[in-house]
Amino acid sequence: MKFIIKNPTTSVIMKKILPLLLLSFLWIITSNAHAQSQTENDQTFKGPLQKGKYTLGGNFFIGEDITSVQAGVGYFFSDKIGLGIDGTYVNELFLVQLLPRYYFHVLDNTYIFLELGVTAGDIFGVSGGAGVTYFINERIGFQGRLNNFSGGGVGLVVLFGGKNR
């Protein structure tokens, strides 16, 4: 049985990005013990992701066979777990996605996240993806992501609310 991807642009993107994501996850798994002991020894790191913060963000992607614009809001339940509600316009389809996200802290200002949720609108289904967010300060971050329905894209995230630690 041969797996066929209908969208060649997404296929090309996945072939180029997926190995990098897999290597990132392997690096996270192997360095998790070191990172945990480092965090326990150095309590001075106060990352931008904090319980009680809200997000406002958006991203876009324009390729050969796909055009995607996505905007959404989110809430952080902890410094690792968030929930996003995104509106997406992709190839003349409108989708609403409810996406719980789990964040891995990899560097001082860089996070990798995984998302798995549901999509409703012109099509229904389970949606999932992964991405990287780099924060230039405590409030603003640049994001790149892949998603099986929206295709992903690059964009901006703004954090607000929450307490300063």
Given this model, what pLDDT does residue 65 score? 78
Q: Return the pLDDT at 51.
A: 87
Helix (H, G, I), strand (E, B) or coil at 61: strand
Q: What is the pLDDT of residues 33-67, one digit of tens each?
A: 444 545 554 455 567 888 889 999 988 887 777 78
Q: Tell which wins on pLDDT, 21 or 145.
A: 145
Which of 62-71, 113-122, 138-147 has the weakest average pLDDT?
A: 62-71
User: How confident is the model at residue 9, as a pLDDT?
Assistant: 53
Q: What is the mean pLDDT of residues 116-133?
A: 90
Higher pLDDT, 35 or 128: 128
Residue 5, classified by CB atoms within 10 Å of its CB into exposed (0-12), middle (13-18) or buried (19+), is exposed
Average pLDDT, the chain: 77
Domain ranges of the chain: 1-39+49-165
User: DSSP string of 82-97?
Assistant: EEEEEEEEETTEEEEE
Q: What is the dihedral of CA 26, 126, 153, 134, to 10 degrees?
A: -50
Cα–Cα dist 61/151, whole Å: 7
Predicted pLDDT of residue 45: 53
pLDDT band at 5 (very low <50, low <70, confident <90, very high): very low
In CATH terms, the fold of domain 1-39+49-165 is: Porin (2.40.160)
Instruction: Report the alpha-carbon distance of residue 30 to residue 157 in Å, rounded.
Output: 28
